[in-house]
Chain A
Amino acid sequence: MNHLSVTRDELAGVATTLLEDGNRLALVAAHEDPHGFRIVYVFLGADRTELSISMPRDDAWLPSLAAICYPAGRFEREIRDLYGIKAKDHPLPHRLVRHAHWPTGWHPMLSGAGPMPDVAGPASYPFLQVEGDGVYEIPVGPIHAGLIEPGHFRFSVVGETILRMKARLWFVHRGVEKHAEGRSLDDVLALTERISGDTAVGHSLAYVMAVEEALGITVSDDARLIRAQLLECERIYNHVADLGAIVNDAAFSIVAAHTGRLREQLLRHNEDVTGHRLLRGAITIGGAQLRRPVDVDLIAGVVRDAIELAHTAMGHSVVADRMHTTAVLRADQVRHMGVLGYVARASGVAVDARADQPFVDLGPSFHVVSESDGDVWARFLMRVREIEVSAAVLSDLSERLASRCGETVAAPLGTGSGFGVVEAWRGSLCHRVEVADGLVTRLKVVDPSWFNWPALPQALTDTIVPDFPLANKSFNLSYAGNDL
């Protein structure tokens, strides 16, 4: 790990060199120090590089990296909304996280922000209007017909073909990062498990790894193996549910009915193993403990059934036709936007923190799978192939664990900062924490959905409106992980 302090003038040059060397920008976090602001940039590659810039409070601005790195531009907009630090020469200096009805000049992450003032009047959020013969708009959401999270999609359509789609998110800002400040390490652990219900292991594991680095805690091999197992369990139950959900959007509901059954088996297994259906509570700072070992035979059976169901769907000519060439995301778009997870791998970009930033050796069965077409079919196939690998990895890990269930350790108090990155089921997920005397002073969370949301509208070029649900489900991005 390299840690560099740079000035604002040097930043663009250093960042360019890092990006050209094949690093990717993983996280940008602002910090409010007693005498000013500090911005930390984390670049991930073969090694990790942290750049930090300090600035006085009365001269708070950032040089914008948006021109050389697309995700940086979004991080800068987030920092402006939450801290009021402006990025100079930003190409798109609009609000991102803050809704239009949030009061001007109120930045919730600042220490003196206080509770949210009353919302003044209805919000206006102008959308770019596409003009021309026969172009019309379809507004969808933020309240949807299914039980999903809130997001507003504005389609500009001619006939049935989508010309442009703009997603408006951030309807449920909960203040997770603010909530973490000043709380004990264990309280924040419980908080991170609840950031996004379907990624309890991913978020809590990235958090504990960050804390362990901050406090210099060494983790036993057993705990590492158990953590890797939990991560794969989470991947499998979510991917299995997705397999059915994607096909269900093509109205082939028999597969969805059966993946629902398989998911339930997995959730019950989760409860047996950790005491919680969503795998909460097993990961602790410095350790990991299971109630009983993971039942690899049960999971292998479920995965076998799920793959058979997936092949039933893929063998159905109409379902296959719906998925092929639908919502194509090209590899160059993936690289440009820094897309992560199965979405990137389906387009042929094999980013995977399990291979790039491993915390444990996953054994001989592990390999990163990827596809090249970048359509709904490829993203569907990614899930099929990934659960196959995951089941094999689980079995290898189980052999090495030999029925040991791990143990919890007492975390020492201390001060420091740390960073954790894991390959959660949606993609690489990272947390950065700063700890002072056993209390969290700053937690920054970056869910893979943060990187992947802008890719969805790009993939919709030449897609027809009735295929949007299929495209959306194949991305399956998190609202809660994106909107903290």
Chain B
Amino acid sequence: MIATLLVIVQVVVATAITPLLLGVMRQVRARMEGRVGPGVLQPYRDVRKLLAKEPLRADGSSGVLIAAPLVLLVSSLMVVALVPLVTTANIPAVPNDLFVVVSILLIGTVALALLGLDAGTAFGGMGSSRHMMIAALVEPTVLMSVYALSIPVGSSTLSKIVVARGADVTRVVTPAGLLAVVALVVVVLAETGRLPVDNPSTHLELTMIHESMILESGGRDLAWLEVGSWLRLTALLGLVVNLALPWGLADSAQPLAVLVAVVAFIVKLLVAGALVAAAEVFMAKVRLFKVPELLAGSFVLAFLAVTASYLAG
């Protein structure tokens, strides 16, 4: 019961803060580039605007155009509920196991790819094919890097890994731990469509990955797609910061502990988002055929992390 309550708090906080995360990232980037920027609250206004609009759907499109946004949103909410962001407690019925989380992420990925194909436009199909190429390269690295972190703990349950790392600082700064976190950062950026793999702010259809799949969606459908995609960023970025800085998470329902956990999570997430945005200012988008090289590099890091974990015992 208490665990469920804590998870509900986590989902509510993470969902509420997600548009702010995007707003902060965009504003940091704008300011660093010398632009005024729309303000950190703009994503809230965008979602409100889109939710008030009726969705228009292309002729000949099927139910996928209606269902996929909801599937993406629900899968993202489930990931947000499972990953240890605010609390290390988890719902007893669903293990927040690494493999469960990756599988649920994949449900959202497939829903997006089907959505891109559904309207039958060339851009959507192109985006879906690029999206699946990246997903196929990203998933093994996610598994490998979190696996490397799970070896010292002896469990693939994410919350246990975070708790164990929090209890013993020396685990955080091991070579294996650092390698795994770096590998994870790279794939999180690829998975959530950030630079240098995808450019979330482009208007050029031919270069798009994520954006070209959702070109045919509008109104409420688009709002759910945007929120669903942003929640993935919150969940994955939150997971990375909690693996790197595994402190402050609530394990009981004490009001003070929960409050500290919420504040700690928000600060960690927004700072991490600001750092990602700041790094993006210095980045350009790599040639599409160089993306596999980049992701192969991160896979090698993850693989080294696994090896190092075994060697370090």
Contacts and interface: CB of A to CB of B under 8 A. Distances in A.
Interface of A: 136-140, 144-146, 160, 247, 249-254, 257-258, 261, 316, 318-319, 321-322, 464-469
A253 B286 contact: no
Given A251-B195, A254-B32, A261-B34, A139 B122 contact: yes
Nearest to B196: A318
Given A145-B204, A251-B202, A138 B126 contact: yes
Given A466-B288, A469-B206, 11 more contacts: A137-B122, A138-B206, A249-B207, A250-B285, A251-B207, A253-B33, A253-B201, A254-B33, A258-B34, A261-B34, A469-B204
B281 A254 contact: yes
A160 B289 CA distance: 9
Contact of B199 (A251, A321, A465): A251
Contacts of B45: none
B205 interface: yes
B299 interface: no
A465 to B, nearest CB: 5
B284 A250 contact: yes
A146 B290 contact: no
A316 B285 CA distance: 11
Interface residues of B, number: 28
Nearest to B289: A464
Contacts of B203: 145-146
A145 B35 contact: no
Nearest to B203: A145
A399 B265 CA distance: 64
22 contacts: A138-B122, A138-B126, A144-B205, A145-B205, A146-B203, A160-B289, A250-B284, A250-B285, A251-B199, A251-B202, A251-B284, A252-B283, A254-B33, A254-B282, A258-B34, A318-B283, A318-B284, A318-B285, A321-B290, A464-B287, A465-B206, A466-B206
With a 10 A CB-CB cut-off, give which of B125, B202, B206, B207 has the most chain A CB atoms: B206
A257 B34 contact: yes
A204 B243 CA distance: 65
Contacts of A258: 33-34
A252 B284 contact: yes
A143 to B, nearest CB: 11
Nearest to B32: A254
Contacts of A318: 196, 283-286
Given A258-B34, A322-B287, A249 B122 contact: no
A144 B34 CA distance: 27
B147 interface: no
Q: Which are the 6 A-B pairs with shortest beta-carbon distances? A: A251-B285, A252-B284, A251-B199, A138-B122, A145-B203, A257-B33
B303 interface: no
